[in-house]
Structure 1
């Protein structure tokens, strides 16, 4: 069971920290092309720089190796992919993918429908990040009614035996 006090969850924000060798290219890609608003930026001595960009609602998607391979196969036609990638929900996966390609991202896979009713595309972005842009084609409530969806009670749950 997760520790939650009377105030709710203990974690208030997920912040993924990425070192970008070409900081300006990464900032342009995520802030200007993807439109992630800059919440805060800092400049220090010797051109030390950081920008905190708003990515909307953050979630941590934990996948076992088999699921990662299944998603890689669906999105790219290959079961090979990175253990960590960014997945960003967008309103129009085809348009955003085209914008990212025009901005210099390398295409890995075009927008592809998935069995769980999303449209996923994959690009190689700056800072060595593989980025999936996905467009939901149904609501979370609709998805939860599908076979195999819902919540995972975890090991030790009698339903898992």
Structure 2
């Protein structure tokens, strides 16, 4: 864990995805989902890349039991590949409809999870299995709940409580 005020050693998480239908993927993620274009480059032999700003990035690491539990809660069955991309949005229901209208296939509709977020699953261009999620509680509110914590300490330095089963995630 980085100490307060320290500059983290990593400045950005970038997910690089190869898309057979580049134009469709760019249209979907930039124009339908609404990720602003940060940069784009083209090279010889038709090489193209676009970098889209997805806001703050996080790396969520889950063990197999957690992955199974999340699929069960959000979808009711095991569907996610080993890697899934999640986007936090302000309105999960409206975003899901917009993405379906824009070419994604709904795997599971927006569902309120036990950890108080609204999550939907979709299969999207570039063969990505994605989640759109809307947090219903602030980070501080969630941090105060049992089962939340990563380093064994709460905000007051006491060990974080451990919930029955894996801690919730999206």
Fold match (TM-score > 0.5): yes
Structure 1 counterpart of 2:32: 33
Structure 1 counterpart of 2:66: 67
Structure 1 counterpart of 2:49: 50
SS at match of 1:127: coil
* C-alpha RMSD of matched pairs (Å): 1.9
1:54-110 Cα shifts (integer Å, max 9, x gaps):
000000001111111111111110034211010000000000000010111111000
Gaps of 5+ in 1: none
How far, CA to CA, are the matches of 1:101 and 1:57 in structure 2? 24
Structure-1-length-normalised TM-score: 0.89
Q: How does 1:65-144 map to 2 (within 5 A)?
A: 65-144=64-143
Greater per-residue helix proportion: 1
How far, CA to CA, are the matches of 1:67 and 1:25 in structure 2? 32
Gaps of 5+ in 2: 154-158, 161-170
Structure 1 counterpart of 2:7: 8
1:100-123 Cα shifts (integer Å, max 9, x gaps):
101111110000011111000000
Q: How many residues align?
A: 154
SS at match of 1:8: coil
Shift of 1:47: 1.5
1:4-56 Cα shifts (integer Å, max 9, x gaps):
8x962211110000000000010011000011000000011122100000000
SS at match of 1:143: helix
Superposition misfits of 4+ residues, deviation over 2 angstroms: 150-154
How far, CA to CA, are the matches of 1:46 and 1:153 in structure 2? 51
How far, CA to CA, are the matches of 2:97 and 2:6 in structure 1? 43
How far, CA to CA, are the matches of 1:79 and 1:103 in structure 2? 25
